[in-house]
Homo-oligomer: A and B are copies of this chain.
Amino acid sequence: MSVYLDWAATTPPDPAVIAEYSRIAQTDWYNPSSAHEGGRRVRSVLEDSRRRAADALSSDPESIVFTSGGTESDHIPLLALLQRSSRGSIAISAIEHAAVSEQAKAMEQAGWKTLIIPSNRDGIITPEAVLSTIREDTALVAVMGVNNETGAIQPIREIADALEAGRPAKRMPHFHVDAVQAVGKIPFDFNVPGVHSYALSAHKIGGPRGIGLLKLSKQIEPFVRGGGQEGGLRPGTENVAGAAALAMALEGATRRIAEGTAGEEIANRLFAGIANIPGIRPIPDGRAEADPRFSPFIAQFTNRRFPGEVLVRALSDRNIYISTGSACSSKKKKRPVLEAMRVDPDSQQNAFRISSGPGTTESDIDAVLAALSELMGV
Residues of chain A whose beta carbon lies under 8 Å from any beta carbon of chain B: 2, 4, 6, 9-10, 12-13, 15, 18-19, 21-22, 25-26, 29-31, 33-39, 68-72, 74-75, 79, 82-83, 85, 97-99, 102-103, 105-106, 109-110, 201, 203, 208-211, 223-229, 235-242, 309, 312-313, 315-317, 319, 321-324, 326-332
Contact A224 B106 (CB under 8 A): yes
Q: A226–B328 Cα gap in the complex (Å)?
A: 8
Chain B residues with CB under 8 A of A68? 68-69, 72, 210, 236, 239
- Is there an interface contact between A224 and B329, defined as CB atoms closer than 8 Å? no
Q: B209 to A238, Cβ gap below 8 A?
A: yes
Taking the nearest CB of chain B, how far is it from the CB of A295, in angstroms? 18
Give the number of copies in the complex: 2
A-B contact pairs, 21 of them (CB 8 A): A2-B37, A2-B38, A4-B38, A9-B31, A9-B34, A9-B237, A10-B29, A18-B25, A21-B22, A21-B25, A33-B331, A35-B316, A68-B239, A71-B227, A72-B236, A85-B109, A98-B226, A106-B224, A203-B237, A227-B329, A228-B331
| Contact assessment for A33 and B109 in the assembled complex, using a CB-CB cutoff below 8 Å | no
Task: Judge whether A29 and B6 touch: CB under 8 Å.
Answer: no
Q: Are B210 and A239 in contact (CB under 8 A)?
A: yes
Q: Which residues in B have their C-beta under 8 angstroms from that of A316?
A: 35-38
User: Which B residues lie within 8 Å of A19 (CB)?
Assistant: 22
Q: Which residues of B contact A33 (CB under 8 A)?
A: 9, 327-328, 330-331
